[in-house]
Amino acid sequence: MPHVPNFSQAQTVLAPMEGLTDSVMRDVLTSIGQYDWTVSEFIRVTQTILPAHVFYKFVPELQHSGELHGENLQGKTRHGVPVHIQLLGSNPELMAGNAIKAVELGALAIDLNFGCPAKTVNNHRGGSVLLTEPDTVYQIIKAVRDAVPSHTPVSAKIRLGYEDTSLTQEIGDAVQAANASWLTIHARTKTQGYKPPAYWELIAPLTERLTLPIIANGEIWTLEQAQRCREQANTIHVMLGRGAVTRPDLVNQVKSADRGDNVASLSWQQLLALQLAFLHGNAKSDNMLVGRYKQWLGMLTQGYDEAQTLWQAIKKLKTTDAIIEQLTQTI
């Protein structure tokens, strides 16, 4: 069954981040995080309908079987959190064809990437460069929307613009006219990249202008920032990116605050258990898993002083076994 969010309640989403939130990281973060859903790393669409193994490589959750709490786990993490499949490309027909393929393989929802700022992607007319062409954005979303079953959500993720914000409203109008199910907005332009600050207040005019649900994204590292983002963007829905990786319990802090509860911060000992789970995850190679882990530990140093000490201890280690042994000694 497709995953159709309940936007009458605040939705908190784990962002797609290339080279960071792969299936191993999604599994770890959703093991403790109360996410409403997560979005896959983008699957690049160029010249053909991709074979099944490409989709399974990026979203192995499509092959999950069994049930959790009476619900089918296909297309979800092992902890029952839906994974929406994100596609990136510029050809409406090919994007539609690959969306159909994804749904046939069990995709619960389709997300379309118009926000990636990577130069290589933009040079090949993908990602945020398409924000200079609102009509192309419309054509892609409409083609996908018309191609997949009406009950399968089709959403879009954008930035405020490419070099500036002059087309922000036109882009938003194009997304809505194409009948997207909702819109996620990273509150910076492509040119601004990931440099602070994020301009949450520039999302508000779209929230007021459009009738489809808006999810705000960008520079949310703390609960206080999540609350300010919501207020300034005029939406209750947020997507957490690097802040969620740096503070794996950030989503729970947001959800608890919504309920009027207090939640204890994730302790370093609890986080060590998550790190061990990550290191036991399935990866293409040991070298890749080691590289991904060191990347994550480097980010954790922003939220935990203990991570800096651990980094000094493992930075020269080259195998997961050696790193696991070091972590085990610290527990």
Strands (E), the chain: 12-14, 37-39, 43-44, 67-68, 71-72, 83-88, 110-114, 154-159, 183-186, 214-217, 237-240
**By C-alpha distance, which of 206, 137, 130 is closest to 169?**
206
Put residue 179 in one of left, alpha, beta given phi > 0 → left and psi -120 to 50 → alpha: left
229 is known as an active-site residue: no
The answer to whether 85 and 16 are in contact (CB under 8 A) is: no
Q: How far apart are CA 252 and CA 250, in angstroms?
A: 5
Helix, strand, or coil here: 228?
helix
Spell 113-150 as b/e; 16+ CB within 10 A means b. bbbbbbeebbeeebbbbbbbbbebbbbbbbbbbebbee
Catalytic residue among 13, 96, 116, 215: 116
- 196 conformational bin, left if phi > 0, alpha if psi -120 to 50, beta if neither: beta
DSSP letters along 55-66, please? HHHH-GGGG--S
d(CA 103, CA 322): 41
Tell me how far CA of residue 263 lies from CA of 84, 223, 254, 268, in angstroms.
Answer: 28, 11, 9, 15
**Residue 111 contacts residue 156 (beta carbons within 8 Å):** yes
10 Å CB burial of residue 13 (0-12, 13-18, 19+) is: buried
Active-site positions?
A: 116
